[in-house]
């Protein structure tokens, strides 16, 4: 680990320690002794998407193909942090695209979801970032992205509605202009 990285880790840990003190906690008690370091490591992991690049994630796994039917990857687990409260939101992401002589290695699609979900986010932006990244790399006839998520900022605080979920979508190309294509996608992910 380089000096700059070590200094950043120590700085974040110190800030977390100060937050705990301001909350009235005894940072010397047994259960909290290493909490600042654990929180720093956790935040670094939960926001690792800032260090990721879709080009490197895809790593050349876009292939020429004559396939022209809908490709769907559904029920991709999503975990992110709400940028307003730094509380988690989680759920499922469903992605479909209509190839235009290019297909992508299927494992790359959930990895692209992680690039954007492992950042401080709002669900609406997360949905569109995924769609536009896939559009950029595949140049498909259309893309559909739907995310259904549960937000702890709504469940644990504020309105405290434990059973409410939020659904967002981004439809591009044929998914936006052709209701039959959009309906077919929505039927597949029900």
Give catalytic status of residue 93 as yes or no.
Answer: no
Write down the catalytic residue from 85, 135, 148, 184: 85
151 tagged catalytic: yes
Rounded-to-integer distance, Cα 35 and Cα 27, Å: 8
| Annotated catalytic residue, options 82, 94, 129, 170 | 82
- In the set 121, 123, 129, 174, the catalytic residue is 123
Q: Determine whether 135 is an active site residue.
A: no
Q: Which long-range contacts (CB under 8 A, 24 or more apart) does 44-47 make?
A: 44/9, 44/12, 45/118, 46/79, 46/81, 46/118, 47/81, 47/118, 47/119, 47/120
Respond yes or no: is residue 69 known to be catalytic: no
Catalytic residue among 77, 83, 124, 139: 83
The catalytically annotated residue of 94, 137, 151, 174 is: 151
Identify the active-site residue in 14, 51, 84, 139.
84
Q: In whole angstroms, what is the distance from residue 146 CA to residue 170 CA?
A: 7
Catalytic site includes residue 139: no
Q: Which residues are catalytic?
A: 82-85, 123, 151, 153
């Amino acid at each position: 680990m380089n000096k700059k990285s070590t200094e950043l880790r120590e700085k974040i840990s110190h800030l977390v320690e100060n937050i705990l003190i301001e909350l009235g906690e005894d940072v010397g008690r047994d259960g909290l002794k290493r909490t600042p370091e654990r929180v720093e490591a956790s935040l670094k992991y939960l926001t690792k998407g800032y260090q990721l690049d879709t080009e490197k994630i895809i790593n050349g796994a876009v292939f020429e193909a004559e396939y022209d039917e809908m490709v769907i990857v559904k029920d991709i687990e999503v975990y992110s942090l709400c940028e307003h409260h730094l509380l988690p939101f989680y759920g499922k992401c469903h992605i479909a695209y209509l190839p235009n002589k290019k297909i992508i290695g299927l494992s790359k699609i959930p990895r692209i979801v992680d690039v954007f979900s492992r950042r401080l986010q709002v669900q609406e932006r997360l949905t569109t970032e995924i769609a536009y990244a896939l559009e950029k790399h595949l140049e498909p006839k259309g893309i559909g992205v739907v995310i259904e998520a549960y937000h702890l900022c709504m469940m644990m605080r504020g309105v405290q509605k434990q059973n409410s979920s939020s659904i967002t979508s981004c439809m591009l190309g044929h998914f936006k202009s052709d209701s039959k294509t959009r309906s077919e996608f929505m039927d597949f992910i029900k």
